[in-house]
Structure 1
Amino acid sequence: MSKKTRHEEHEEHADESWLLPYSDLMTLLVALFLVMYAMSATDAQKFEQMAQAFNSALSGGGGVLEFRSDSPTNTQLDQGRKDKMNSVIDKNTGSSELSKLRTKEQEDLEKLKKQFDQYIKNNGMTDLLSTKLNQSQLMITISDNALFASGQAVVKDESRQLAKSISTMLQQFPDYEVLVQGHTDNVPISNSTYSSNWDLSVARALQFMKILLLNPNLDPVKFSPIGYGEYRPIDTNATAIGRAKNRRVEVSILRKYKDPAAETTDVSAPGK
C-alpha cells in the first residue's frame, strides 16, 4: 500500500519543463504580431528600428525579425526632396543664364543694326538697302541694282566696297551662322549663262558671299549661300516696282539664343 501511495504522489507532480519552450513560442508569436502590425504602419524607419531592437533582445541581432525596408525611409524621402529642389534650382539657374544670353544677344544685334542703318543713311542708300531685326535673325536686304547688272551675277566694281563694309561689321559676330540668299522676280531669264532664275539666284548669292569672305577675319564654315529663285517674293510680281523689290540679296545673321515663346517683333530700317 505504501508503494502505491508514493506512486500517486509522483503523478500529482508532473514534469513542467515544457513551459519553457512554450513561453519562448508565445514570445515569438507576440513578436510576429508586432512585426505584422509594424508592416502595416507608414513609417518604415520606425519599424526598422523596432525590428533591430527585437533582434538584439531575442536573438543577438539576427533571426526572423531581420528586415530591410525596400520603401524609402524618412531620411531618404528628405534627401529625395532636397535632390528635387536642387534640380529645380539648377534648372532655374540655367534658364536665368539663357535669359541673360538672350538679352545680351538682343543688345548686340540692335547695336549692329544701328551701325548698318547709319552706314545706309550716310551713303544715301536708303532706297537700295534695308535692315530688319526679329526673333530669328538680323537681315540686311540689298537690291539687285546695287550689286549686279541685269541678268548677271558678277558684283559691280563700285559695289565691292559695300560688301567690304558689310564684312567688316560682320566681324563682331564671328561665331554666328550667316546665310547669303539670292532672290529674283518671276520673269523667265533668257541668256546663255543661266538657264533659270534658280541658277541666277544661286550664282548671285555665291558671288556676293565670296567677296564677303575675302575678309580673313570671317570663318567660311559659318557661311552658306542659298538661291530661292522667284519663289519667295516680298512684293507682287505684277508691277515693275514689285518685281524690283523681289530682285534682292539678303544677308542674315542667325540668332543663337532664340525664344520660341516670344512674339516676333520686326524693327525696320529708316525709310523702309
Structure 2
Amino acid sequence: MSRRKKRKESEEHMNESWLLPYSDLLTLLLALFIVLFAISSVDAQRFNHLSQVFSGIFLNGTGPVEFEQPIEEKDQNADVPSHWEAHSKKKENEVVEQAIHEMAEELKILEAIQTKVESYIQENGYEDKFSTSLTSEGLLIRINDSVLFQSGSATVREEDKKTARELAKLLEMDVPRSVIISGHTDNIPIQNSAFQSNWELSVMRAVNFMKVLLEDKNLDPRLFSAKGFGEFQPIADNNTAAGREKNRRVEVLIQPYTEETK
C-alpha cells in the first residue's frame, strides 16, 4: 500500500514538470515577437491589434484563430519619395499658372466687351442712364429703371424697347457666356392691383426686360436667367430722392466663360 502511494505521488510530480520548459518557451517566443516589432515599422493601430492577439494567447489562454487577421493598411505617414513630392509640386504649380493665365485672358475679353458697351453709351448720350463695372462675378451693366419703365410698372415702354434691342446686339458674343438680368427697387412700399410688393415688381421688370433682349434670335435663351431683389440690394442712400433713383435699376451681368456655357 505504501509503495503504490509513493509511485502515484511520483507520477503526479513528473506530470507537472512540463510546465517549466513550456513557460520558458512561451517567454522566448514573446520576447522574439517584441524584438521583431521593435525593429520593424508598424503603425500604432496595427501594433495595438497584434497586442490584443498576444494578450489573448498569453493571458486568456485562447488561440490566435479566435482573432481576426490583421488587415494590411496603407501607412498614411509613410515618407513620400523626394522626387515624387517634387513632381507633385510641379504639377500643382502648373495648374495654378494655367488658371491664372485663363483668368487673365478672360479679364481681357470682358474689358474689351466693356469698352464696346462704353462706346455705345457715349455715342448715344446715355452716360446718366447706363454705367458699367468689372466685378468678381463678371461685367455688370446698370440701367436706371426710368429709362425703361413707367413708375410702378413692369412693362418696358415702347420708346425704350429700341434701347434694349441695341443692348441685345452688344450681347452677341462669339464665345457664349451666361447672362443674368436682375431687377431692383427703392425702399418705398408698393401695393397696387398688379404688384403686392417690391419683390414682385423687381422680378417682373427683370423678366420683361429679358424678353425684349431675347427677341434677338442670335442670343441663346438657355444662357439667360432673371432675378428680383426688391429693395434689399441698394447701391445708394434711400433717404434721398437721388439715392432712390439709383436704387431703382435693372442690371445685366455678363459672367466669365466656363465649360458649362459651351
User: Is the TM value for this pair above 0.5?
Assistant: yes
Tell me the distance in 2 between the aligned counterparts of 1:123 and 1:94: 44
- Say whether residues 1:86 and 2:91 are aligned partners: no
Quick check: 113-122 or 210-219, which moved more?
Answer: 210-219
Aligned residue for 2:193? 192
Distance 2:174 2:141 in 1: 14
- Return the structure number with greater relative CO, CA threshold 8 A, min gap 6: 1
Code of the residue aligned with 2:202 in structure 1: it is: S
Equivalent positions of 1:116-127 (< 5 A) are 116-127=117-128
Retained in 2: the 8 A contact 1:135–1:255? no
1:80-99 deviations in whole A, cap 9, x for unaligned? 43333222222211111111
C-alpha contact (below 8 Å) 1:171/1:217 kept by paired residues: yes
Name which one, 1 or 2, has greater alpha-carbon Rg. Answer: 1
Unaligned runs of 5+ in 1: 1-35, 43-76, 258-272
Shift in alpha-carbon separation, 1:90–1:157, aligned structure 2, 3 A = same
Deviation at 1:174, TM superposition (A): 4.5
* Cα distance in structure 2, aligned partners of 1:205 and 1:241: 22
How many Å apart are 1:109 and its aligned residue? 0.8
Question: In 2, distance between residues paired with 1:108 and 1:40?
Answer: 62
Query: What secondary structure is seen at the aligned counterpart in 1 of 2:165?
Result: helix
Residue 138 of structure 1: aligned partner: 139
Alignment-mate amino acid for residue 95 of structure 2: G
TM-score, normalisation: structure 1: 0.63
Tell me what 1:240 maps to: 241
Matches within 5 A, 1:38-117: 80-117=81-118
1:207 aligned residue: 208
Contact 1:182 1:202 in 2 (8 A): yes
Q: Per-residue deviation at 1:40?
A: 6.2
Q: Which amino acid is 1:180 matched to?
A: I
- Note the 1:175-190 alignment, pairs <5 A: 175-190=176-191
1:155 is matched by which residue type in structure 2?
Answer: V
Q: How has the CA–CA distance of structure 1 residues 195 and 80 changed in structure 2, closer, same or farther, with 3 Å as cutoff? A: same
Say if 2:220 is the partner of 1:219.
yes
Residues 85, 241 of structure 1: CA spacing in aligned structure 2 closer, same or farther, 3 A cutoff? same
Code of the aligned partner of 1:166:
L
Extract unaligned runs of 5+ from structure 2: 1-34, 42-78
- In 1, the alpha carbon distance for the partners of 2:217 and 2:208 equals 16
2:63 is matched with: none
Identity %: 39
Encode CA deviations 1:226-270: one digit per residue, 9 max, x unaligned: 11111111111222111111110001112358xxxxxxxxxxxxx
1: CA distance, partners of 2:97 / 2:87: 15
- 1:151 maps onto 2:152 in alignment: yes
CA RMSD, 1 decimal: 2.8
- Confirm or deny: 8 A CA contact 2:176 2:257 kept in the other structure: no
Q: Distance in 2 between matches of 1:140 and 1:125?
A: 12
1:129–1:141 contact (8 Å) kept in structure 2: yes
Tell me how far apart the structure 2 counterparts of residues 148 and 200 of structure 1 sit (CA, whole Å). Answer: 11
Q: Work out the CA distance in 2 between the residues paired with 1:240 and 1:110.
A: 32
Q: Is the Cα contact below 8 Å between 2:237 and 2:244 reproduced in 1? A: yes
Q: CA offsets, 1:99-128, max 9 Å, x none?
A: 111111111111111111111111011111
* Residue aligned with 2:191, SS: coil
Q: 2:236, 2:247 within 8 Å by CA — same for their partners in 1?
A: yes
Give the secondary structure class of the aligned counterpart of 1:236. coil
Distance 2:236 2:124 in 1: 25
Amino acid paired to 1:248? R
Give the C-alpha shift of residue 189 in structure 1.
1.6
CA distance in 2, matches of 1:145, 1:80: 66
Change (3 A) 1:246 1:41: closer
| Paired residue total | 190
